[in-house]
Amino acid sequence: MNKKSGFVAIAGKPNAGKSTILNSVLGQDISIVTPKPQTTRNRIFGIFTKENVQIVFVDTPGILKPRYKLQAFMKREIDSSFVDADIIVLVIDASDYNPEVVMEILEKYRREFSKHNVFCVLNKIDLLKKDMVLLIIDDISKKYDFSEVIPVSAKSGFNINELIQTLIRYIPEHDFYFEDDIIASQPEKFFISEIIRAQALRMYQEEIPFSVYVEIDEFREREKGKDYIRAGVILEKESQKPIVIGKGGVMIKMLGERSRKKIEDFLGHEVYLELYVKIKKNWKNDEEFLKRNFYKTSVPTT
């Protein structure tokens, strides 16, 4: 039986559920999900392999108009994912369906979309009544020229298998790009950083804005005993530092405990995690900082 393998770019507005769809497809959390928009910053490569099929999913940042250098980098991540894609999956939040927004995205990427099969994946249908979902599907089918329109609920897993099977029909014949036991292409340090950042965003919610970054200074694997991880929580303002640390260090201790448990689940063994807080003013516009911490991690390792 000939092998089939290809790249599928997952795109959409912030909070449409792109990362949740990827995690649901893979059956494992490799892309962080929080209620905050713009959680995803880099392209995240998630690899689905079953029998003779391998699909390399590329989770992208939310589509937006860049206001600073980090967001300009995020836009380039989206654009780059379209270049190499065999299929583009445009995720639409069914609970917030707006035909004008869909048209705006299609116009924005008209040239890129014209070169690919483009699926419209209507997510969060669990939040709507069936009649409303059917009306939206009918409206999309009449107004836009998508290769497929597939309603799903990534949160519950509804219709995710149907999405996978439909993608497989469009995936070209090709040898696998990755070994069949690999689920993600970024290094472990990248995912450890993302795990800590996810916990920070969940814990501090509105108190700490989008501009938090986690830098792994040291990751030492030990044959005996716990692995050692030292990580810095990078903030933009001095006023944010006492919030993250908390009175008597209680908050950063809690962040460390929650992150450590998630990291241990991810790595499959115990770790010793040391956290500290560092201020890097306006890092979102610091070209050298972005090059050092973002550009390299967005490239897949085959």
Specify whether 140 is located in the same domain as 287. Answer: no
Host domain of residue 155: 4-170
97 and 58 fall within a common domain: yes
Tell which of 170, 201, 225 closes a domain. Answer: 170
175 domain residue, yes or no: no
**Last residue of one domain, picked from the residues 170, 205, 231:** 170
Within this chain, do residues 23 and 166 fall inside the same structural domain, yes or no? yes
Check: CB of residue 233 under 8 Å from CB of residue 276.
Answer: yes
pLDDT digits (tens, 9 = 90+) for 90-132: 999 999 999 999 999 999 999 999 999 999 999 999 999 999 9
**Are 119 and 146 in contact, with CB atoms under 8 Å apart?**
yes
- DSSP-derived 3-state class of residue 113: helix
What single-letter amino acid sits at 100? E
Pair (166, 17) in one structural domain: yes
- In a domain? residue 132: yes
pTM over 0.85: no
pLDDT band of residue 299 (cuts 50, 70, 90) is very low
Mean pLDDT, residues 189-202: 89
183 found inside a domain: no
Query: Are residues 149 and 203 both part of a single domain?
Result: no
CATH of residue 61: 3.40.50.300
Per the model's pLDDT, the better-predicted residue between 232 and 208 turns out to be 232
219 Cβ contact list (under 8 Å, min separation 6): 188, 189, 192, 227, 228, 229, 230
The predicted-structure confidence for 46-91, as pLDDT tens digits, reads as follows: 999 999 999 999 988 888 787 778 878 778 888 888 888 999 999 9
Q: Are residues 128 and 62 in the same domain?
A: yes
Element containing residue 223 per DSSP (H, E): none
302 pLDDT band, cuts 50/70/90, is very low
Q: Is residue 284 part of a domain?
A: yes
Q: What is the CATH number of the domain that holds 207?
A: 3.30.300.20
In degrees and rounded to multiples of 5, residue 79 shows phi and psi of -60, -45
pLDDT digits (tens, 9 = 90+) for 213-264: 999 999 998 878 899 999 999 998 899 999 999 999 999 999 999 999 999 9
Relative to beta strand 213-220, strand 148-151 is unpaired
Count of structural domains, the chain: 2
User: Domain check: are 44 and 141 in the same one?
Assistant: yes
Q: Is residue 14 part of a domain?
A: yes
Q: Is residue 199 part of a domain?
A: yes
Three-point CA angle 127, 35, 79, nearest 5°: 95
d(CA 46, CA 7): 10
First to last CA, the chain: 23
